[in-house]
Structure 1
Amino acid sequence: MNKICLKYFLLPWIKNAPKIYILNLNTDSRTLKKGDLFIAIPGTKKDGRNFIYEAICKKVSAILYETKKKGEHGIFKYIHNILIIYFFKLSENVSMLASRFYKKPKKGLKIVGVTGTNGKTTVTQLINQWSEILGNKTATMGTLGNGFYNALCPTQNTTSSSIFIHSFLSKISEKQTKLVTMEVSSHGLIQNRVKEVPFDIAIFTNLTQDHLDYHESMEKYASAKWLLFSTHKVKKIILNADDKYGKIWLKKLFNYYTIAVTIKNTAQKKYSTKWINATNIEHYNNLIYITFESSWGIGKISSSLIGTFNVKNILLSLACLLELGHSLCSLITTSNKITPITGRMQTFIVAKKPIFIIDYAHTPDALKNTLNAIRLHYKKYIWCIFGCGGERDKKKRSIMGAIAEKIANKVIITNDNPRNEKEMTIIEDILSGCKKKKKILIIKNRQEAISYVFLKAQYNHVILIAGKGHEEQQIIRDRCIYYSDKMIVLKLLEKNI
């Protein structure tokens, strides 16, 4: 347990604070304990400043209270002998406070941050998995959970709070961990959650439509992602140079240490410090072969991760591991040991039964890439089962409907996480992008939709279940119920073997 004097702790921001000892930092009034320093800041749903008296009742050591008035910074007040300190722009400084409280990670721990619309989970998991194969102890923070590789604890957010992040880094730093990867969301960047994280490498995967309910426009969404490379602590930057924004940012970062990853645009080499370029890609049913040239040399790797988008994910991961000091030879020889990521193009094959593929694709670009990958690799009849989340980016629904109708042979629209939005409203939004609406099936119950398609599909068909991937719950109104696409598929295949 950390124990630190408030006077020393706040010295960079506030002088003359009393000699009070604090045991923990906390922004959540529900979990406050005696001895905590309560950081009262506005949240996306609730304002922590409204829970001051709850914190006092729980006998916290002190309270930092966000003020919008610069002149109030450093004012001390007492309520029932509990110190309240006014702090200007407190929300923007929580990451720095957490970094100071938990101390910076020990030397030797490498931190890799990955941002982008699609591919964050795959790239972080690939880097960890590949590194583990090569004998390193790794940890990760992201959509699949937080913790050591293959021992993850579930999380609600892609990017955790500043306090949790620095606490996590402090703990794993003490356990001989060599590498930690972190998914960095646009929300996390806007909210300064990783402001004081010392990234050795930051990776950009791509930027396509998503989260416009939060960011309002692609310009604002792009600006949020750009924060990682323009205002954060990053030593080296790896960019998908085939992406529209990746190309722009590569030129803007001309004077920085950058690595360009491309499968088609070798001209981008001139703007980067180092580069990797795929010169040939061979697709087979369940395998892909990538021949490449790079600043480290030439080579050929094989993988069971299919799809052109996964070629980029693999090469981004390869560039990262090369920059971390692994030899090109060792990475080439171990590439075929990498297995698909949970809920990301996860394939289930049983003889004389349809092929099931589960993927997290919940954006227009992800759905398009996933369906095109299946078409390229399998060249078979494709069933596409998908829905869209309620109370989220509504603009993408019709686009996803149009994509599914165009590429798949048969489309079934079902529920994803409708939340408090009417199910049929979501479905009608998706249908508005389809030209032949009468040919689209609607089965609102997701389990029933999957079971129906399994009974109707032939053994040489492919069934894509998109949108939820690894998730094991479904949000209907205010209830979270247990639900897993994977378990439904396994039960269906088990019954019919």
Structure 2
Amino acid sequence: MVVQEPGTPRALERHLRPQSVAETSFEELCAALGAVRGSLNPAANPLVRGVSLNPQVVQPGDVFLAISGARRHGAEFAATAVANGALALITDAQGLAHLPADFQLPVATVENVRAVAAAAAQRIYGTATRCPQLFGVTGTNGKTTTTFMIRSILEALGTETGLVGTIEMSARGQIIPSVLTTPESTQLHGVLASMAEQQVDAVAMEVSSHSLSYGRVDALSFAVAGYTNLTQDHLDLHGTMQEYFETKAQLFTPERSQRAVVMVDDAYGQQLVDRALVPTESLSLDAGHPGADWRVENLQHSGLGHSFNITHRDGRTLSTRTGLPGMFNVANAALAALMVLASGVPLHALQQALDASDPLSVAVPGRMQVVGESPVAVVDFAHNSDALAKALDSVRPGPGGRRIIVFGATGDRDTTKRPDMGAVAVRHADIVIVTDDDPHGEDPAPIREQVAAGAARAIEAERPEVQLHNIAPRAKAVEFAVSLAGANDAILVAGRGHEVSQDVAGMDVELDDRVELANALKLHGFVTIP
């Protein structure tokens, strides 16, 4: 059940914190962080009960951590933090220059404020000892689905669970209201302490490269880390694929994780296994990796999904299925099951849970979400070349049917993948409809043209029979796709998944691919899935 609660970010912040906190003196906190007390109010030593990087969400009793931002320094907004109830401030040398000489709160400095934020939160909220068991999933594609599957398995085992990811944060099945997509480290420690307070035993968490780069998962210890795959994405942040990989690899160190399970069906997965510094088991769907510890075998179609075995080199076997379409969901399901096994759950208990409740068929909003069956109509979050290819291959048209794809590329992101996405669509679909995704601050027309140019080159060189259309806005493109479809065709609307608004020049425009696809199907006389 989604909790719809109006309120300011400051009001919603309260949902991200435990109700009970052991007060920590400012002096104790500074000593733990190696922070140096300044000349402002040097004798003051308040008892603090919270920590925040954002002056707008500071709660009474907080330490405000004033960091240097891209355009402004957080210390410039110290007055807001004080008005909201901050009792002390930690900043850097640059931040001191922004404070008035008569500033009333005690102040300390560190060299890098963001680098100590997680440690400050851990100290205040007690997450070194008050934290659920953590399952962290990283990789380019599949993180969300794998975490949903881990949670589903754990619930089938009778475990009280939580989830932290791009679609939702929840504890014991209740959504935690938030305006956040990715919590800051201070908020993440707070919400994990809150979950522990609610007797949540285990949390499945997406661990993105951004969260590793910006220290958002610092000072946490994952019981099991999992790796799905690595394909081109986020190069606007990382620059190169190797840098992207190195960021992901940070999760597989003793400072962050205790054990790991790694898919080795790409070169980066194999590289990760070879250099992982924690006990690691490898997993493969590919016969080309006979040395993998675990292999997926006896694969059979089962409804829209597959049944299969996961077999260890020593002969141990799990038998299971997933109702979600696509081989990539077989990979996600196998990874989820093995991560739970690696956490110490006995194999026989895991097998009983897999048999009893089909936990790997859990529905994941906007991830291969089936909206209609005749024609097959699916919405998926695929927003890079590898994900597009896999999603298209997993939507199977009927006899004589065609694959139709509606997709675009996001603005203000890695521009090099746009023409490649167009080419991939041509190689895997029969009708390609390029439209807008989230243009953000860019003019959407040139983005579409860059994607369509890659598609046009692939049509000329490889598949001249493919139809190419460039249509905006997105809702019109979805309706056009359905207007072309027959009962045996398969339609994939890709790129936005669960999202319900489109970012156009900084404005949120209401748009839900699932709603648009369902409406278009009904308009053209097709039946939708409730």
TM-score by length of 1: 0.90
Residues 400-441 of structure 1, C-alpha deviations (whole Å, 9 max, x = no match): 000001110101111110111111110111022122489411
Q: d(CA) in 1 for partners of 2:206 and 2:423?
A: 29
Tell me what 2:280 maps to. Answer: 258
Aligned residues: CA RMSD:
2.6
Question: For residue 356 of structure 1, what is the amino acid of its counterpart?
Answer: A
Establish whether residue 4 from structure 1 lines up as the match of residue 30 from structure 2: no
Partner secondary structure for residue 433 of structure 1: helix
Tell me what 2:81 maps to. Answer: 55
Tell me what 2:188 maps to. Answer: 165
User: Unpaired runs of 5+ in structure 1?
Assistant: 270-274
Cα shift at 1:492 = 3.5
Shift of the 31–79 alpha-carbon distance from structure 1 to 2, 3 Å rule, reads farther
Of 495, 509, 518, the residue aligned with 1:467 is 495
Q: What does 1:330-345 align with in structure 2 at a 5 Å threshold?
A: 330-334=352-356, 336-337=358-359, 338-345=361-368
Q: Which moved more, 1:475-484 or 1:297-306?
A: 297-306
Establish whether residue 29 from structure 1 lines up as the match of residue 47 from structure 2: no
Tell me what 2:102 maps to. Answer: 79
Q: Which moved more, 1:277-286 or 1:400-409?
A: 277-286
Of 375, 383, 390, the residue aligned with 1:369 is 390
Shift of the 135–378 alpha-carbon distance from structure 1 to 2, 3 Å rule, reads farther
Shift of the 78–136 alpha-carbon distance from structure 1 to 2, 3 Å rule, reads farther
Partner secondary structure for residue 49 of structure 1: helix
Contact 1:276/1:315 (8 A) holds in 2: no
Tell me what 1:308 maps to. Answer: 327
Establish whether residue 480 from structure 1 lines up as the match of residue 503 from structure 2: no
Question: For residue 329 of structure 2, what is the amino acid of its counterpart?
Answer: N
Contact 2:399/2:488 (8 A) holds in 1: no
* Higher-RCO chain (CA-CA 8 Å, sequence separation at least 6): 2
Cα shift at 1:448 = 1.2
Question: For residue 472 of structure 2, what is the amino acid of its counterpart?
Answer: K
Of 398, 411, 417, the residue aligned with 2:419 is 398
- Percent of aligned positions that are identical: 27
Question: For residue 47 of structure 1, what is the amino acid of its counterpart?
Answer: H
Cα shift at 1:285 = 5.1
Q: Which moved more, 1:484-493 or 1:188-197?
A: 484-493
Residues 89-145 of structure 1, C-alpha deviations (whole Å, 9 max, x = no match): 221111111111100265783111111100110110100012212322110111111
TM-score by length of 2: 0.85
Tell me what 2:169 maps to. Answer: 146
Q: Which moved more, 1:143-152 or 1:180-189?
A: 143-152
Q: d(CA) in 2 for partners of 1:64 and 1:290?
A: 54
Q: Which moved more, 1:408-417 or 1:295-304?
A: 295-304
Tell me what 2:297 maps to. Answer: 279
Cα shift at 1:489 = 2.5
Partner secondary structure for residue 294 of structure 2: strand
Cα shift at 1:283 = 2.9
Shift of the 58–96 alpha-carbon distance from structure 1 to 2, 3 Å rule, reads same
Contact 2:131/2:192 (8 A) holds in 1: no
Shift of the 60–339 alpha-carbon distance from structure 1 to 2, 3 Å rule, reads closer
Partner secondary structure for residue 7 of structure 1: helix
Shift of the 57–168 alpha-carbon distance from structure 1 to 2, 3 Å rule, reads closer
User: Unpaired runs of 5+ in structure 2?
Assistant: 1-18, 461-465
Question: For residue 140 of structure 1, what is the amino acid of its counterpart?
Answer: L
Shift of the 415–427 alpha-carbon distance from structure 1 to 2, 3 Å rule, reads same
Tell me what 2:145 maps to. Answer: 122
Tell me what 2:15 maps to. Answer: none
Residues 282-332 of structure 1, C-alpha deviations (whole Å, 9 max, x = no match): 235513121231257124322211211111111100101112315242144
Residues 330-388 of structure 1, C-alpha deviations (whole Å, 9 max, x = no match): 144146352331111111235xx422111000011100111122249988311100011
Contact 2:300/2:308 (8 A) holds in 1: yes
Tell me what 1:360 maps to. Answer: 381
Establish whether residue 199 from structure 1 lines up as the match of residue 222 from structure 2: yes
Question: For residue 416 of structure 1, what is the amino acid of its counterpart?
Answer: D
Q: d(CA) in 1 for partners of 2:47 and 2:432?
A: 61
Contact 2:45/2:106 (8 A) holds in 1: no
Q: d(CA) in 1 for partners of 2:130 and 2:91?
A: 33
Partner secondary structure for residue 127 of structure 1: helix
Cα shift at 1:483 = 1.4
Contact 1:195/1:232 (8 A) holds in 2: no
Tell me what 1:272 maps to. Answer: none
The count of corresponding residues between Structure 1 and Structure 2 is: 484
Contact 2:50/2:125 (8 A) holds in 1: no
Contact 2:401/2:488 (8 A) holds in 1: yes
Question: For residue 111 of structure 2, what is the amino acid of its counterpart?
Answer: F
Shift of the 282–241 alpha-carbon distance from structure 1 to 2, 3 Å rule, reads same
Of 83, 99, 104, the residue aligned with 2:122 is 99
Of 389, 392, 409, the residue aligned with 2:430 is 409
Q: d(CA) in 1 for partners of 2:490 and 2:472?
A: 21
Cα shift at 1:51 = 2.0
